Amino acid sequence: MITAFLFIFVFMKHLIAPSILAADFANLQRDIEMINQSEADWFHLDVMDGTFVPNISFGMPVISAINKHAKKTLDVHLMIVNPDKFIKTFKKNGADILTVHYEACPHLHRTIQAIKTEGMQAGVSLNPHTPIAVLEDVIRDIDVVLIMSVNPGFGGQSFIENTYKKVIQLKDMIEKSGSKALIEIDGGVNLETGAKLLAAGADVLVAGSFVFKSKNPINTIKELKDL
């Protein structure tokens, strides 16, 4: 019994979170059904406000529409200033995990608690220039750390190699602190970068273009899952 438990614990499979940003918005329901049927674990939803990042994506009406059809966890990545203002609304529209940017939250501890009070899992994202060390005093309060491996704002950018080092540092911080946070990576993920990220200690791989621009997205998700 104990051996079986340890086996499951040690060999917990990594998770795959396709990013809807790269989906065909004119055929969104078709793409949502594809993810429902695939081996993907989460829907990754990128919310951009044109202020925190130099791009605007989608907001509440689209998230609520996705929520009506999605049969998996909604992982909402907020690239917006003042995320505190909208925490309750994101919960109402179906978010299961709500991730805010460290760089957008002057009172990060309060923001994390507010997300958890609403019954969601709390994620914190770090831009490529932000060191892991800034999470030292909140790491035990966080469910997910989302390391940006590109500068946030756009899909289809190339992977920043310094990310591997950050994953190793974060894994070490998580283990030493007794935190249960998952390590999620976002930007430029493909089979090659994905394999190296998993070896460095990543738990969740976000993939946008690599999935949706491929000939057979269901199969591409399976290939990422089988890494």
- What amino acid positions are annotated as catalytic residues? 46, 186
CB atoms within 10 A of CB 165: 11
How far is the C-alpha of 191 from the C-alpha of 193, rounded, in Å? 6
Q: Applying CB under 6 A, which of residues 83, 94, 123, 152 lies at the interface with ligand DX5?
A: 152
Q: Applying CB under 6 A, which of residues 32, 38, 41, 44 lies at the interface with ligand DX5?
A: 44
CB of 188 to ligand DX5, least distance (A): 5
**Residue 113-132 contact track with Zn ion, rule CB under 5 A, x = bound:** --------------------
C-beta of residue 40 within 8 angstroms of C-beta of residue 32: no
77 binds Zn ion (CB under 5 A): yes
CA R_g for the chain: 17
| Partner that binds at residue 217, options ligand DX5, Zn ion, none, CB closer than 5 to 8 Å by kind | none
Q: Applying CB under 6 A, which of residues 83, 94, 123, 153 lies at the interface with ligand DX5?
A: 153
C-beta of residue 207 within 8 angstroms of C-beta of residue 194: yes
Q: Which residues have CB under 8 Å from 169's CB, separation 6+?
A: 132, 133
Q: Applying CB under 6 A, which of residues 94, 194, 208, 217 lies at the interface with ligand DX5?
A: 208
DSSP one-letter code for 103: G
Going by DSSP bridges, is the β-strand pair 73-79/97-101 parallel, antiparallel, or unpaired?
parallel
Q: Applying CB under 5 A, which of residues 96, 103, 184, 186 lies at the interface with Zn ion?
A: 186
Decide whether 73 or 177 has the Cβ nearer to ligand DX5.
73
Q: Is residue 48 packed enough to be buried (19+ CB in 10 Å), middle (13-18) or exposed (0-12)?
A: buried
The CB-nearest residue to Zn ion is 77
Going by DSSP bridges, is the β-strand pair 97-101/121-126 parallel, antiparallel, or unpaired?
parallel
How far is the C-alpha of 93 from the C-alpha of 167, rounded, in Å? 31
Q: Applying CB under 6 A, which of residues 14, 16, 19, 90 lies at the interface with ligand DX5?
A: 19
Decide whether 122 or 160 has the Cβ nearer to ligand DX5.
160
194 binds ligand DX5 (CB under 6 A): no
DSSP one-letter code for 184: E
Residues 64-83 that bind ligand DX5 (CB under 6 A): 77
Point out which residues bind ligand DX5 (CB under 6 A): 19, 21-22, 44, 46, 77, 150, 152-153, 155-157, 186-189, 206-210
